[in-house]
Amino acid sequence: MTTSELPSLVEAGWLKENIDRSDLRVIDASWHMPTSGRNAREEYGNGHLPGAVFFDIDAVSDPTHDMPHMLPQPVDFEKAVADLGIRNDDCVVVYDVHGLFSAARVWWMFRVFGHEKVAILNGGLEAWKAVNGAMETGFPNVTASRFRATYHAERVRSLKDMEHNLVENRDLVIDARSAARFSGEAPEPRPGLRGGHMPGAKNLPFDTLLEMDSKKVLPISKLRSLLAPLAPASGQGLVFSCGTGVTACVLAFGFHLIGKDDTAVYDGSWTEWASQSDTPVEVG
Residues annotated catalytic, as ranges: 242
Compute φ and ψ for 253, nearest 5 degrees: -65, -40
* Cα–Cα dist 253/135, whole Å: 27
In three state form, how does the secondary structure of 212-230 look? CCCCCECCHHHHHHHHHHH
Show the CA angle centred on residue 249, arms to residues 68 and 220, nearest 5°: 165
* Paired sense of beta strands 118-121 and 91-95, if any: parallel
Distance (Å, whole) CA 73 – CA 83: 16
Longest pairwise C-alpha distance within the chain? 53
Sign of CA dihedral 143, 144, 150, 154: positive
Q: What is the DSSP string of 167-199?
A: HH--EEEEE-S-HHHHHTSSPPSSTTPPPSB-T
Burial 85-115, CB ≥16 within 10 A → b, else e:
bbebebbbbbbbbbbbbbbbbbbbbbbbbeb
